[in-house]
Structure formats: C-alpha cells, structure tokens
Chain A
Amino acid sequence: MSKTINLHHQSWSRRKAIKTIAGASAAVTASATIPDVMGYAQSQSSAPIRIGFQVHRTGIGAAYGRWYDRTSQAAVKRINDSGGINGRPVELVAEDDGTDPKRGAEVLEKFATQKNCDVAFGTLFSHVVIGSAPRAGELKLPYFVVSEGHHVASGILNRYTLQPGITDVKSQVEAMAPFIAENLGKKVAMVFPDFAFGHDHRDYFSAAFEKNGGKINALIAIPPTETSFTKYFPKIPQDTEILYHVMVGPAVLTFVKELGEFFGSRRPEMFGFIDSLEAVDIASPGLEFLDGTYMWEGNPRYVQSNQSSHDKLYRQAVGVDSNGASISDSKDVSTYAHMFGCWETLNIIKAGMEDSGYRGPEDRAKLIEAVEAMSAMPLSDDHPQGSKIFNGKTHQTFGHQYITRVSEGKLVLAHTTSIEDTFYPDEVDYTTQSF
C-alpha cells in the first residue's frame, strides 16, 4: 500500500495539489481492494487474523464506543507484542454501527462477506446485538458480544453468538439482592428506564429481593425519551428504606442531580448501578449528596487498596489513571465498569483459536467448540477484572461483582460477591444446536 502512494508522489511531484489528491485516492483504492486480494493470494500462515469490530462510534452509544475502541486497540497491541495468535498478527477491522440494529446487521454482513473477517466482536447495546445475531448465525460467523445483556443466556440467539468476557444483567442484579437486604434495608423503591434493560432490572431484582425477605415498595419506570425527572420522584413512597436506581443515556447526570435536589438532606439509603454514572465524573457539581451511597460496578473505576498487578497492567495499557479517567485528559472519564469485557473477550478469542488450532474460516465451528469447552478463567493479565467461570452451554460467563461506596468523591470497594452468588439455572443449551 505504501509503495503505491510513493510511486504516485514521485510522478506528480511538481504539481503539489494534484499530487495530494492522487496519493489520497490511490491509498483509498488500495486499502479498499487489497484486503480482499490478500485473503486469497497470501498463504494463511502469515496473513493476519482479522477481527471485525462493531463500534458504537455515533448514536447514543458513542461514549461507550470510544472506550471500547481504546480498550480493544490496547488488547490487540498486547496480543501482537507477545507474538499474535498462532504466530499470526491480529488486525482489528473496526466499523461504526451507529448504535442501530439495522446498521449493526449490515456491518456484520460486511465483515463476513467483504472484509474476510475471521470473527466479529465488540457490541455493547442489546438491540444491536439482537438485531445482528441472526445474521451472524446465517453467515456462520462467530460473534463475540460484550453487552452484559441477558439475551445470550436467555436462549433467543444462536450457536454462533457468545458472551464470554462480561457477565449478564440477570446475574449482576440477582447477586446484589442479598447484600442490599442484609445491609441497607428491606423496603426498596426502584427507578429504572422503561425499556428492556430496565425491565430486566425490575423483574430479576424484584424476584431475588423478595426471596431474600425484602419488599418492593414502588416501581417507577421512566420513559426513555425523558430529560427531566423531578416530576416522577414524588411517586417514591416516604417510608422507602432504600432507593434502587439505574438509568442510561445522555440524561443520566440530570437524573442523579435531580434526585439530590429532591431529597435534600433527607435521603433514604441509595443503591445504584454505575450505568447511571458511567463516563461521568463522580466529583461533578451537584453529586455531593451521593456520598455514602452504594454502587454496583462491573470493575471498580478507582484504584482500590487491594489492587491486583493485573489491574495495574490493564489500566496502564488502556491509558486510564487511578481515578478511572484518561491519562491524557482527567475530564475524560472511562466506562471502566464495562470495557474490561473487550480486553478479556479478545484474550478468550486468542485462547480459543490456539486451543482449536484455528487456521481460517473453515475452522470457525472448531473455534466455537473450543470456547464452549472453556470453564474456569482465573484472575490474570488476560482476565484483570477477576476470575470467571464460563458456561459453555449457555455461552455466558459468570464472575465476581463489585459493590463500592461513594466516599469523598471516590468509589471505595465495600463488598465483592462470590461467583456462586451470580449463578442461576441454565435456560438454554446451545451445544445441542447444529453448526
């Protein structure tokens, strides 16, 4: 590719303007055609392994997408620095899905049929996963999602879709119930967004909490298009002992601030999912009232006193400081509770490809079988969030959950659940489906 550009540069060297245009268009044509040619021409032994990466670059998921991108780039760099996969370099083929299920499916198609990707990877938003997964199944393209949705384990997807690098919302929510019932109170009012993600919280938490002797006091579902929230808060009963909140989207900070303005100094105990404040600085003006409240975190944003060497390595590789913000811009707060899933998933793809002796698309089924055969994934540089147990039948991983407490503008670890706390009975056995 670079050769082509140089040639053009020389021949047009006297006419500066045209030179640039020609160079650019040559580069463009080259990059558009070469991958397709190379896939056939070069022997597979040295050609890169191509991982299609669906990124939320635009649309509502862009704040997550940017950090998913940074984490994945860092993970791929580390894999390549240590010799790649089966001796072959790894190449991320990133493409924007616009956080839209229609475009998501189209992008997946592009990976499989135009860009000669070996596998696809990366999606966060559930509707993009569910919109894309049928296409993955039809194209027989292994599709590794990093979404924390319950869609994979619920059995509605297919054998080609796996979620080995991040736990699902059902297990997260159910594991919170014992801690809340024992430590914070028995009467809970839940505030959640009125769409599928919020409904998962409502259904799984209510059931688990009542099993632990608690009582659900009120269920307040907020319309997803809403930008002001105070008018809904009077529906929180006054005898509520603990307020459970989870919110997503650009209005999350307004939501939490207005909660503070509503309660003033008379707030109940509060437990929230960090989704309500993901990519938002806890020290933002108006959030002071959160001091002393509890948060679920998939992976603690702030460096904890018991930080492992693995978290240290991972944090440094991605470029995140001890407060969970970008090293280069302390205002640029990461989506630390979710993005580790990209790092771990890429390492699992590597392990799966090495276990199965993956050579090319003809070995895709073998790759899936190799991942399905995985079980314990110990805490390591490959799995810096913590050890996990992968369930090959449901294609879903299970792991520790972290509960942190807001203290002086930081999140301090208060409780770590066991992996067993997050288990629930299998709802599907994908291994019985044919390839």
Chain B
Amino acid sequence: MTKSLHISVLTSLVLLFFVVSDYHDGNLARIMVLAIYAVGYNLLFGYTGLLSLGHALFFAAGMYGLALPIQHLGVSPIEAFAMGLASAATVSLVIGFLALRTTGAAFMIVTLMFAQAGFLALLYFGQWTRGDEGFVIQQADRIIAGIDFSQSTERYFAAFVLFAVAYLLIAWLISTPFGKCLIAIRENEERAQMLGYDVHRHKLLAMLVSGTLSGASGAAYAFLFGYAGATFASVQYSILPLLWVLLGGAGTTIGPLIGTAFAFYLIDISSHFTTAHLLVVGLAIVLLTLFAPQGLAGEIRNRLISWLP
C-alpha cells in the first residue's frame, strides 16, 4: 500500500504540471527543490530524533559547492553539482563527527554555532562569495547537453526528478534495517545501544545522508534559480526546515513535502490579502500546533489513513 502511495504522490506531481497555471508551476518547482531540504532534515530530526539548528550550513555547502566552481573555475554544471554534493557530504561528516559528541540542547547549540561560523565565513570571504549580495549564475552556465534549465518546463522536471530521488531514497532507507535502527535510536537510545547497535555510527550516517540531501537542495536551488547568496546560510534558513517538517509531520515520508508546500502557500496567499501577512502566518502556526499536534500528515494518519508511512 505504501508503494502505491509513493507512486500516486509522484504521479500527481507530474500531472500537476499540466493542470495548474504557469505561476503554480514555478511555485511547485521551488517547493519540490526546498522539499528535498525538508526531506533531508526529516531523516535526522523526524526519524533519528536529533534536532539540529544548523542545517543551513549543509544547504549552503551544497549551494556554494556548486556555485563557486561555476563562477570562478568555469566548471561544467554536472561536475559542479557533484562538487556541491561532495562539499555538503564532507561538511556534514566533519560537523557530525564533532557535534554528535553532544545530544539534546547541546547538539542544537553546537550545530547552530557551526552554521553561524559558516555564515560569517561567507561574509568574511566576500571577495569570492560576494557575501550577502551573492552572485548570479548566468543562464549560459545553466545548460546541460543543450537543455536550458532556466526554462520552466525543464526546471520543473529537473526539480521533480531530484525530489523523487530524495523521496524514494528516504522511503526505502527507513524500511531497511538501518532505518529501523534510526527509529529505535529516536525511541530509546540506550535501549538501541544495549541491543548491540553501533549508535554513534548510525547517527553519523544519518547526519551524512541528511546533510548531503540538504546540500543537494541548495545546489539545485542555485542551479535552477540562478542565484547563490549568504542569506541562505543564515539562522533563519536553519529554522525553516524544522518548521516545514513539524508543520507537515515529523517522521512521515510525505510530511516534508506537505509542510513545505503549506508554508509556501500560507505566505503567498496571506500576503495577497493583507500587508500583515506575518500575523496570519504566525496565528496559523500556533493554531496548527494546538489542533494538529503531529503535523498535517500526522493528522491525516490519525484521522484518515492509519497506514501512512
């Protein structure tokens, strides 16, 4: 049943492209790219139970890992994308190695501090990064094998393919013994340890996958939307995936997508009607936590589809 759910989620994303207007096509492309970030975050937070406040560092590692080589070394997009992934993977391994010595609140602060240091470093090395202003990845650099990814159809399907890979990867991962172990760690770390699992190694691997997916999202954003800037490394962008995942439903496979889309349209629609849109957003978030404690997907699972993964 879960398989048919995954198929229908992905199929409807394809179908949506042909149904909705240009405007929503553009939005959905963004949502899918950012949902990869949320999917990555969800693996660490929703499934492993580690609350990081520094994921913007991994997002930015992917973004700049792709953008800087294109800008300064003239590397081809495919190579640059690989570099973005490699840079996010390296950063998440190093940070994971250090930060996983801590748990709980200390883990939140350590990840937050590393991300803040990364953000400041982007400003400090402004000569190459152009700091907060950031830089444009020119349209000419966004063409692979004659396909221009600055065009909306190409962009939509590139975003879709990347999202589908991330989504299915996590759906598969949590059904493996590795994924079951992560959930066991979330539920009771000491017990998992006693059962003989190498808890540290599992957490480190979760961090690696989570960070790399976040980086993939950052690299995809830079490539598909043509911009890299230090704003994406700021604290705000570490809190966003947490918010998306919690709104959508932590520890569910479709929660990250739902949460990202919900947060996007909450801002987009409310700012259409009122200049005080943050007020609407804030109230909606408060009400949602009051009345849908496990996020939207969690609520669906509780009320409608009990087998929702």
Contact = CB atoms under 8 A, between A and B. Distances in A.
Interface of A: 28, 32, 57-58, 95-96, 100-103, 105-106, 109-110, 113-114, 126-127, 130-131, 133-135, 137-138, 149, 151, 156-158, 194-197, 199, 223-225
B130 to A, nearest CB: 5
A106 B226 contact: no
B26 A127 contact: no
Nearest to A109: B26
A221 B165 CA distance: 43
Contact of B278 (A28, A58, A101, A133): A58
A204 B21 CA distance: 46
B268 A110 contact: yes
B120 A134 contact: no
A386 B227 CA distance: 34
B133 interface: yes
A133 B229 contact: no
A134 B23 contact: no
Contacts of B30: 106
A110 B23 contact: yes
Nearest to B264: A106
B77 interface: no
B150 interface: yes
15 contacts: A96-B271, A101-B229, A102-B231, A102-B232, A106-B30, A127-B134, A127-B229, A130-B136, A131-B134, A131-B229, A194-B123, A195-B133, A196-B130, A199-B131, A224-B132
A199 B126 contact: yes
B18 interface: no
B126 A194 contact: yes
B275 interface: yes
Contacts of A197: 132-133
B272 A32 contact: yes
B27 interface: yes
Contact of B133 (A103, A109, A130): A130
In terms of DSSP, what is the predominant structure of the interface of chain B? helix
Q: Which 10 A-B pairs have the closest CB atoms?
A: A134-B226, A196-B133, A114-B23, A113-B23, A195-B131, A113-B22, A195-B132, A196-B131, A131-B227, A126-B133
Given A113-B21, A138-B226, 13 more contacts: A101-B227, A101-B231, A109-B23, A113-B23, A114-B21, A127-B231, A130-B134, A134-B226, A149-B133, A194-B123, A195-B126, A195-B132, A196-B133
A204 B162 CA distance: 42
Interface string B142-177: 000000001110000000000000000000000000
Contacts of B130: 196
A151 B21 CA distance: 32
B30 to A, nearest CB: 7
Interface in B59-101: none
Q: How extensive is the interface on chain B, given as a class?
A: 35 or more
A297 to B, nearest CB: 23
Interface in B254-304: 267-268, 271-273, 275, 277-278
Given A28-B273, A110-B23, A127-B133, A196 B126 contact: yes
A40 B22 CA distance: 16
B139 interface: yes
A151 B225 contact: no
Nearest to B130: A196
A197 B271 CA distance: 29
A182 B179 CA distance: 71
Interface of B: 21-23, 26-27, 30, 120, 123-124, 126-127, 130-139, 150-152, 225-227, 229-232, 267-268, 271-273, 275, 277-278
A134 B225 contact: yes
A224 B231 CA distance: 12
Contacts of A195: 123, 126, 131-133, 230
B122 to A, nearest CB: 9
A151 B133 contact: yes
Contacts of A158: 139
B278 A196 contact: no
A256 to B, nearest CB: 22
A57 B271 CA distance: 11
A95 B150 contact: no
B237 to A, nearest CB: 9
B274 to A, nearest CB: 10
Contacts of B124: 194
A307 to B, nearest CB: 33
Nearest to A225: B120
Given A57-B275, A194-B124, A224-B123, A101 B22 contact: no
A196 B135 CA distance: 11
A134 B150 contact: yes
A158 B152 CA distance: 18
B150 A138 contact: yes
A44 to B, nearest CB: 20
A100 B230 CA distance: 11
Most buried by B among A106, A156, A196: A196
Nearest to B152: A138
Contacts of A110: 23, 268
A157 B227 CA distance: 11
B21 A196 contact: no
A335 B150 CA distance: 36
A379 B279 CA distance: 43
Contacts of A133: 136
Nearest to B232: A102
A194 B130 CA distance: 11
A199 to B, nearest CB: 5
Given A102-B232, A130-B227, A134-B225, A196 B139 contact: no
Contacts of A135: 225-226
Given A32-B272, A96-B277, A197-B133, A223 B123 contact: yes
B231 A138 contact: no
Most buried by A among B135, B226, B277: B226
B132 A196 contact: yes
Most buried by A among B26, B150, B230, B278: B26
A251 to B, nearest CB: 15
Nearest to B119: A225
Contact of A101 (B134, B267, B268, B275): B134
